[in-house]
Amino acid sequence: MNFGHIENTEINNKFCFVCGDDIIKNNIVYYKINDIWKIYDFCQLCTTELLKRKWFDFIKNIKKADCEKELKALLNKKIPNKLTIDSTINSQEIDELYWNDNFISSHLIIPNHIDNSALNKKLNLISIKINENLIFDYLNEIKLLFEEFNL
Ligand SMILES: [Zn+2]
């Protein structure tokens, strides 16, 4: 792959949003979305960490949400299977990564025993109830759901 056309115009003054290191040829990451490659906002090391950690972070955030408003915001989006454009739950999943002459899967590391789409379906049911302002113990339902999935 030749990304020279992007590098020359966009790499200047770009830095990793996690560690702050300058993005240079040795740590640059490209991501693909809708068949268009762009420079990622994270360096190779931080992207590797994000792939390992991000799914668990989303679960942690839902677990520690202690008010309805926060939970509502989190559950309105599904937990991604793949790394997203800005690595948050709110942005679009990216198709593929590329660095050091290798295509890298954008799939997040998810525990083997977890069916992410089954988990999302159940979280969505709780989300619907919250959005309809039904009165129920949503924190307990989340707790029971995570117990069911051994999380
Ligand atoms: Zn970094």
Q: Check residue 9 and give its pLDDT.
A: 56
CA of 46 to the centre of ligand 1 (A): 4
**pLDDT for residue 104:** 97
pLDDT-derived band at 7, boundaries 50, 70, 90: low
Mean per-residue pLDDT over the chain, rounded: 91
Distance between terminal CA atoms of the chain?
A: 40
Please give the helix or strand (H or E) that residue 58 lies within, else none. helix 44-64
Report pLDDT for 13: 82
CB–CB of 94/104 below 8 Å? no
pTM of the model: 0.89
pLDDT of residue 117: 96
82, HSE (Cβ side, Cα atoms, 13 Å): 15
Residue 3 has pLDDT above 90, yes or no: no
Distance 16 CA to ligand 1 centre (A): 5
Burial of 85 (0-12, 13-18, 19+ CB in 10 A): middle
CB count, 10 Å around CB of 141? 16
Q: Ligand 1 centroid to 88 CA: how many Å? A: 16
Asked whether the predicted pLDDT for residue 8 surpasses 70, the reply is no
**Does pLDDT of 10 surpass 70?**
no
pLDDT at 25 over 80: yes
Q: How far is the CA of 78 from the centre of ligand 1 (A)?
A: 26
pLDDT at 66: 81
Instruction: Please state the rounded mean pLDDT for residues 32-55.
Output: 96
Tens-digit pLDDT profile for residues 78-134: 999 999 999 999 899 999 999 999 999 999 999 999 999 999 999 999 999 988 888
